[in-house]
Amino acid sequence: MSVRKRISAEKRKESRKDIALATLKNVPSSPRKMRYVADMIRGMEVFKALGVLKFSNKEASRKMEKLLLSAISNWEQKNERKAETGELYIKTVFVNEGPTLKRLRPAPQGRAYRIRKRSNHVTLIVDAYNKEQEQQTNN
Judge contact between 20 and 125, C-beta under 8 A.
yes
Write out pLDDT tens, residues 65-118.
999 999 999 999 998 889 888 899 999 999 999 999 999 999 999 999 999 999
**Helix 31-41 and helix 59-79: axis angle, to 10°?**
50
Domains of the chain: 19-138 (3.90.470.10)
Supply the pLDDT for residue 65: 96
**Closest CA relative to residue 41, chosen from 23, 67, 20, 13:** 67
Supply the pLDDT for residue 129: 86
Write out pLDDT tens, residues 23-32.
999 999 999 9
Q: Which residues does residue 20 pair with via DSSP β-bridges, in sequence order?
A: 126
Mean of the per-residue pLDDT values for the chain?
A: 91
Task: Please give the C-alpha separations between residue 78 and each of 1, 17, 21, 92, 134, in angstroms, as whole numbers.
Answer: 28, 8, 11, 18, 23
pLDDT higher at 128 or 135: 128
Q: Residue 101: which H helix or E strand, with range?
A: strand 101-106
- Rounded to 5 degrees, φ, ψ at 102 are -105, 120
Supply the pLDDT for residue 111: 96
pTM of the model: 0.83
